[in-house]
Chains A and B, each alone.
Chain A
Amino acid sequence: MKSILKTALLLFATISLISCGGGEKEEKKDIKIGDYSKKETKKETKATSSADMIDMSNKGIGPVKSVTIGDGIDDTMATHGEDVFQKMCSACHKMDKKFIGPKIADVTNRRAPEWIMNMILNPEEMIAKDPIAKQLLIESNMAVMANQNVSEEDARAILEYFRKYDTQ
């Protein structure tokens, strides 16, 4: 009796495939992770060496195209930036050691000011596309940088705080 059932099931399955199928296409394509569009993905040079990781000409991807930096430090702005940093960022970033994310000290000598602000303001796109940010994500054990919905003004203040820290 079991064998009858088995045969019946097998037949059922086969016939269903024949009689109801027809929709599937034969051609197979390699599906790559994150490849949602049909556009050719640009091949980006991977930033692996430490030399690639210091690229002051890379302004990153995001709303900030250029930042005007004054000669000195705007202390009021830096103090505000420190306050915002403490509230919004310090859970993952420490100044003098790597914590969840990279250590901050000396960052203004490693990254363009625009890159720093874009990383704060547009982390999702940065870690998806920017070669340095992509490498940092890997080094940070895939802990994604959180978008803390900081305003552009506050991001600028955070940059000023970093600048002040790096001159001391």
Chain B
Amino acid sequence: MKKLNSILAVAIFSLIMVSCGNNNESKRSGGAMSSNVAEKVYVAPGEHDEYYAFLSGGYSGNLTVYGLPSGRMLKEIPVFSQFPTNGYGYSEETTPMLETSFGFIPWGDAHHPDISQTNGELDGRWVFINENNTPRIARISLEYFETEEIIEIPHSAGNHSSSFVTENTEYVVAGTRFSVPYPQEDIAIDQMKGNFKGPLTFIAVDENGGMSIDFQLKMPGFNYDLSHPGRGDSHGWFFFTTYNTEEAHTLQEVNASQNDKDFIAAVNWKKIQEYVRNGGGEEIDANYAHNVFNHSTQTATTTMMNKVLTVDPRDVEGAVFFMPTPKSPHGCDVDPSGEYIIGNGKLSTDLTIHSFSKMLKAIENKDFDGDAYGIPVLNFDATLAGVVKDGGLGPLHTEFDDKGNAYTTFFISSEVVKWKLGTWEVLDRQPSFYSVGHNMIPGGNSRKPDGKYMVSLNKITKDRYLPTGPELEHSAQLYDISGEKMELLLDFPTHGEPHYAAGIHADKIKANSKKIYRLDENKHEHATLNESETRVERNGNEVHVYMTMVRSHFAPDNIEGIKVGDKVYFHVTNLEQDFDVPHGFAMIGANNSELLIMPGQTKTTTWEPTKVGVWPFYCTDFCSALHQEMQGYIRVSPKGSSQELKWSLD
């Protein structure tokens, strides 16, 4: 026995000797340079990250905010999904945000965030994001980091080639991935070919961010996968990749991959804008919700819209062309100069690069190779600028730096590849772990990307972190791209599936971020701006409690005269005016959610008591040394009781 122990001891000792040394053979990236790598992503306690990154939450329906280079998650912004953490989508003020023509939809599948631009550069005012499942586009304020507006896209299905913005945020686009009858009708599925359409919706954005559908382009029934706007000389154009030009309605895995080439659709939106301003297009019936959150009333409203302007692309001369692009192209990316349009042929090893100037020439020379449903197809060689040969397997997306390089993700071979614009030569390749989808370079989709970092957004997490059962968060990886070779710096988990992300230098946002809601600007219909105005009012079986909160008490905190069968509305106002002093409100037995109320804010939740007794409510956010004392009681009497309403705080 003793012998065994001493053998063990020796074995462990030698193991430890090894483990305390520098393990240069580490399989993790960095290896011998790992301390240097750690410094590059280290943001000391109390210091701020250099960049904001907005990552789509995919099936979480929300948007997460991260700091780069640390990879620290700063916030989750609820957009398309209910969020019991702060009551979004549950509170009376915010439920209208999730209204649609299909009724109240409590969840969403968020995809592609894109930041607003001025003169081709990110301006940090808003971030837009699309919902794929029940087609919608949201606008999120980067002053409040809150969803301010959601517009539903009628006649669309699979809102995927969205929500990319033009150089001056003239438009945000919403394209259809699943072509559908237009407008919807009851027809046999196998009648798809020629009968379904793939509408591309152009949503105008006004100077305050307000969105309205300007027109819908009635395109042939292909699958419009991704898109990006032109910039510089190509400003005024928008480019969309298509697949399933076969118009297969079943077993698309096989049947949508028959054609050697699909198309990139080039849309001259300026021409169509002019056409509709001169009265062009046809107004057709539609049914869609337009939800707006007003920061003054702190309340959202839903307006149901019933018309949309539709444009047949064949009616506008010279407005829409198809550029043949091999192998079911996925990502459609435009370089910072606006000259190159990259088709990432996802079932191929190559990238196809079209030239904008060659495209204009081909249009001028009518260098066509037939047409598709009356839309001219440009000759493939006439627009081709070059091909990146054998970059990898399954190219999906391309981003750009500020030095004339492009970075493409390859899903099947799990790598990111750096190549040179113009010469199309591959300069570097690095593995990604694993199955990378999108990548993101801060300042992307603009004339001025920052060439410092790249984030790869990976689909498979597997063994990158401690295992957490079968279901895992996804994974992002940060690369340093400032040198000749890319260097993997950091892994960090992401919440939901980060289909895409948008990054921006912190200086463009930081100073504008609001600290509080000002009480003197609070125009909420049920705000109580003064503790002396707190009260309880009965209207039939509806009871309205006008309540305030401040460190650390509720007013009133004792309420009697509530009865079983009542519907109680708590309109709660946080009277604090200091940064980061939220209070929570939680009522025992509430069937919806708690409320998290920031300084100067008013929120409303409802409660339908079912049991007689004296029931507590309390603050859920540890607000002060007296937080545990921040509570109150509500007496619930039987239905029909003669107990009068009473309330107090003393």
| Interface positions of A (Cβ within 8 A of B) | 3-4, 7-8, 11-12, 15-16, 19-20, 86-88, 90-92, 100, 141-144, 146-150
Contact = CB atoms under 8 A, between A and B. Distances in A.
B8 A88 contact: no
For A19, A91, A141, which residue has the most chain B Cβ atoms within 10 angstroms?
A: A91
SS class, residues of chain B in contact with chain A: mixed
B531 A91 contact: yes
A86 B577 contact: no
Given A12-B12, A142-B625, A143-B624, A91 B20 contact: no
A15 B577 contact: no
A142 B626 contact: yes
Given A88-B575, A146-B576, A148-B578, 12 more contacts: A4-B1, A4-B5, A7-B5, A12-B12, A15-B9, A19-B20, A86-B532, A88-B519, A90-B530, A90-B532, A100-B553, A148-B577
Interface string B571-615: 000011110010000000000000000000000000000000000
29 contacts: A3-B1, A4-B1, A4-B8, A7-B5, A8-B8, A8-B12, A12-B16, A15-B9, A19-B16, A20-B16, A20-B20, A87-B530, A90-B530, A90-B531, A91-B550, A91-B575, A100-B553, A141-B626, A142-B626, A143-B552, A143-B624, A143-B626, A144-B551, A144-B625, A146-B550, A146-B578, A146-B581, A149-B578, A150-B577
Contacts of A86: 530, 532
Nearest to B520: A87
Contacts of B532: 86, 90
Contacts of A147: 577-578
Interface in B508-543: 516, 519-520, 529-532
A148 B626 contact: no
B20 A146 contact: no
A148 B576 contact: yes
Given A91-B575, A147-B578, A15 B16 contact: yes
Nearest to B576: A146
Contact of A11 (B4, B12, B550, B555): B12
Interface residues of B, number: 31
Given A7-B8, A8-B8, A20-B20, A146 B1 contact: no
A143 B520 CA distance: 25
Interface of B: 1, 4-5, 8-9, 12-13, 16-17, 20, 516, 519-520, 529-532, 548, 550-553, 555, 575-578, 581, 624-626
Given A16-B16, A88-B577, A8 B5 contact: yes
A163 B626 CA distance: 31
B182 to A, nearest CB: 53
B19 to A, nearest CB: 9
Nearest to B555: A91
For the complex of A and B, 5 pairs with smallest distance between CB atoms: A91-B550, A91-B531, A149-B577, A147-B578, A148-B577
A81 to B, nearest CB: 15
Contacts of B548: 91
Contacts of A144: 551, 624-625
A4 B6 CA distance: 10
Contacts of A150: 577
Nearest to A149: B577
Given A8-B5, A149-B516, A92 B12 contact: no
A141 B630 CA distance: 14
A71 B625 CA distance: 42
Nearest to B553: A100
Contacts of A19: 13, 16-17, 20
Contacts of B8: 4, 7-8, 11
Contacts of A7: 5, 8-9
A113 to B, nearest CB: 23
Contacts of B520: 87
B459 to A, nearest CB: 38
Nearest to B4: A4
A142 B17 CA distance: 52
B529 A87 contact: yes
Contacts of B552: 143
B623 to A, nearest CB: 10
Nearest to A9: B12
B98 to A, nearest CB: 33
Contacts of B12: 8, 11-12, 15
A140 to B, nearest CB: 10
Contacts of A8: 5, 8-9, 12
B16 A146 contact: no
A5 B187 CA distance: 72
Contacts of B5: 4, 7-8
